[in-house]
């Protein structure tokens, strides 16, 4: 495995809620990512008059959530943080996100945001255990389109367990956020180390005919670049703007004989994020 040998209590699981919404249980920590609770037929507002209709129902809703240690928000778009999240999540919930999104949430009454710039870290602690969150830069739109889209970040999550011999990383995962593939994402390995899992945001989202999230080919490029033992794709078929089906990504990775295993997960299902 990429990180040091796992120990009892090191279980890491993902429950998929649809879009990029997941419930992550990482050792003693519980995180919610990119909360999108809109139902099928409702519109997500993406700014500058752009909107998209949801095609599916969420498998996670606020009333079903356990106590959260934090919410991890890749960027402020209506399919990643919607009006239901604003209304339903407790305002004191810690939210780890970009400076731009933290400012937006502050105006909505959220009081515990942590704004991270590229490669900055934020830590959650329980006893001798730490969850270290490192912000990874992303590119949501190419060229001039980047000025119209919100700041976006990926995140490297590391479970650090204390012990007699000192702290050790027992699991490491990378959530890409809504970024396009860029070779500089290889810095994830240089700065943080080998991964146990990659969770890419896919879908090949198109705005005015321009791709603004990874499609099947770019997703496979990222798998080849980072060489994770496990890849769990999300963000691929919940909205009409998504143009690259999940099956195309699975087929592309298989055709390239890329390293590791692709694990697909249905809405409401829970899977292990261990190799």
Q: Assess whether pLDDT exceeds 60 at residue 5.
A: no
Q: Tell me how far CA of residue 42 lies from CA of 181, 220, 257, in angstroms.
A: 29, 31, 39
Question: Could you give phi then psi for residue 53, rounded to 5 degrees?
Answer: -90, 135
Tokens 């794709």 -> residue: 233
Q: Over the stretch 179-202, which tens digit does the pLDDT of each residue have?
A: 999 999 999 999 999 999 999 999
Confidence of residue 89 (pLDDT cuts 50, 70, 90): very high
Burial 204-239 (b: 16+ CB within 10 A, else e): bbbbeeebbbbbbebbbbbbebbebbbbbbbbbbbb
Question: What does pLDDT average to over the chain?
Answer: 93
Note the pTM of the prediction, 2 decimals. 0.94
Q: Over the stretch 97-120, which tens digit does the pLDDT of each residue have?
A: 999 999 999 999 999 999 999 999
3-state secondary structure of 231: strand
CB 141 within 8 Å of CB 129 = no
CA 207 to chain centre: 21
Q: Over the stretch 152-175, which tens digit does the pLDDT of each residue have?
A: 999 999 999 986 666 899 999 999
Q: What confidence score (pLDDT) does residue 164 get? A: 61
CA distance 21 to 19: 6
Pairing, β 29-33 against β 43-47: unpaired
- Strand residues in the chain grouped as ranges (E): 12-18, 21-26, 29-33, 43-47, 50-53, 70-72, 95-97, 113-115, 121-126, 129-137, 153-161, 168-175, 197-199, 206-207, 210-211, 230-231, 261-262, 270-272
Least Cα distance to 84 among 36, 29, 134 occurs for 36
Q: Tell me how far CA of residue 21 lies from CA of 62, 130, 175, 261, in angstroms.
A: 12, 23, 11, 21
């Amino acid at each position: 495995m990429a990180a040091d040998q796992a120990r009892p209590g090191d279980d890491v699981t993902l429950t998929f809620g649809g879009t990029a919404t997941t419930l992550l249980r990482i050792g003693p920590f519980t995180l919610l990512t990119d909360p999108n609770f809109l139902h099928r037929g409702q519109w997500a507002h993406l700014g500058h008059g752009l909107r998209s209709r949801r095609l599916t129902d969420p498998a996670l809703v606020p009333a079903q959530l356990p106590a959260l240690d934090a919410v991890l928000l890749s960027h402020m778009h209506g399919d990643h943080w919607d009006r239901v999240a604003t209304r339903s999540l407790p305002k004191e919930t810690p939210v780890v996100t970009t400076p731009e999104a933290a400012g937006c949430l502050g105006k909505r009454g959220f009081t515990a945001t942590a704004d991270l710039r590229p490669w900055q870290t934020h830590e959650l602690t329980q006893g001798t255990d730490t969850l270290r969150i490192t912000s990874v830069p992303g590119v949501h739109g190419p060229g001039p389109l980047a000025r119209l889209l919100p700041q976006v970040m990926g995140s490297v999550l590391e479970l650090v367990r204390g012990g007699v011999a000192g702290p050790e990383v027992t699991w490491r995962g990378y959530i890409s956020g809504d970024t396009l593939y860029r070779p500089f994402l290889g810095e994830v390995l240089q700065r943080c180390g080998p991964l146990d899992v990659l969770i890419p945001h896919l879908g090949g989202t198109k705005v005015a005919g321009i791709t603004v999230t990874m499609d099947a080919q770019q997703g496979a490029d990222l798998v080849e670049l980072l060489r994770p033992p496990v890849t769990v794709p999300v963000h691929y078929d919940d909205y009409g703007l998504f143009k690259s089906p999940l099956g195309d990504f699975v087929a592309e990775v298989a055709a390239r004989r890329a390293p590791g295993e692709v694990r697909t997960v249905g809405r409401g299902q829970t899977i292990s994020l261990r190799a």
